[in-house]
Chains A and B, each alone.
Chain A
Amino acid sequence: MEVSRDHLVTFLLRLADDHLILGHRLSEWCGHAPMLEEDLAMPNIALDLIGQARALYQYAGEVEGKGRSEDDLAYLRREREYLNCLMVERPNGDFAHTMLRQFYFSAFMHPFWEKASASTDETLAGIAAKAVKEVSYHVRHCGEWVIRLGDGTEESAARMKAAVEALAPYVDELFETDAVSEAVSKAGIAPAPASLRSSFDSTVQRVFAEAFLDMPETAWPQTGGRQGRHGEAMGYLLAELQHIQRTYPGAVW
């Protein structure tokens, strides 16, 4: 089954935006991490994510065919044109929040990339094959921290619990289905997000059991990111992300 160009571009931008925005959030820790080891570990992960975003933006620009480069797509769109899920734009909070957010996202992306490495779309399959190795490490690294903070001191356990509560409303959006995700999964380009739920749940359950954490419950799941409706934090994030390109258009490294 063929997928329309619009659907494919939207799908690629959603995926690319998730990676750019989360990569940017992680990079905010650079120089501020609680210890030198994490001051390198988090930017390492951020660079993996931004590398994946670059490949996806390049491909999105190519498919779109309007001559937009990866930089145009990353730096020169307006807030409502970003299609990332809400979880990735959440402020870093403390180290427990950041590790849990990264763990959730990686636990979702790991089965996603695994399936996508057999994509009918050769370019995406190539991006997936590289990404799956990177994201395996992210799951492991962040999972180990979730365990150690959850099963750590009284203080660290309380912070981890607070993080689970704070991020609970943003989990369900990862698995949302709409016309775009349906078209893309029917064409065999990428897995349907809902089909990744059981893998995600078992990864989270395994780690939470060791961390003495309860699985999150959500009374009011948040949604809207995939349609470009973002939280208050997003505008501030974009201001920082975009200001060099806005102030000096076309500036290069």
Chain B
Amino acid sequence: MAKNEIPLWEVFIRPRNGLAHKHCGSVHAADEVMALQAARDVYTRRGEGVSIWVVPSAAIVASDPEHKDENFEPALSKVYRHPTFYKIPDDVGHM
């Protein structure tokens, strides 16, 4: 079977209502219908979710690992971007 007949799909599962879909892995499948079935069979065997998304892996645009430094390093020195300078009243409890 030629490789392009069964492309790769990324799988996202929503564990519970109210939570976001989360990437959990990938499957090979001929089309979107089979990809959803494969995702159900591979990633929801133990009650992991209530909803599945599949996305063609080829449709994902990824950042270049070579640009890691210019993309992410400038953020490291800017601690004031973290909301850690506020006093939280005790009544609020765990945030």
Q: Which residues of A contact B (CB under 8 A)?
A: 35-37, 40-41, 44, 137, 140-141, 144, 148
Contacts and interface: CB of A to CB of B under 8 A. Distances in A.
B42 A37 contact: yes
A44 B45 contact: yes
B29 A37 contact: yes
A40 B37 CA distance: 11
A55 B34 CA distance: 31
B6 interface: yes
A37 B41 contact: yes
Chain A binding surface SS class: helix
27 contacts: A35-B6, A35-B28, A36-B28, A36-B42, A37-B27, A37-B28, A37-B29, A37-B38, A37-B41, A37-B42, A40-B41, A40-B42, A40-B45, A41-B37, A41-B38, A41-B41, A44-B41, A44-B45, A137-B40, A140-B37, A141-B37, A141-B41, A144-B33, A144-B34, A148-B30, A148-B31, A148-B34
Contacts of A148: 30-31, 34
Nearest to A147: B33
Interface string B58-92: 00000000000000000000000000000000000
B51 to A, nearest CB: 16
A35 B29 CA distance: 10
Interface string B1-45: 000001000000000000000000001111101100110111001
Contacts of A141: 37, 41
Given A37-B41, A40-B45, A144-B34, 9 more contacts: A35-B6, A35-B28, A36-B42, A37-B38, A41-B37, A140-B37, A141-B37, A144-B33, A148-B30
Most buried by B among A36, A37, A40, A141: A37
A156 B12 CA distance: 30
Nearest to B44: A44
Contacts of A144: 33-34, 37
Contacts of B30: 148
A193 B87 CA distance: 72
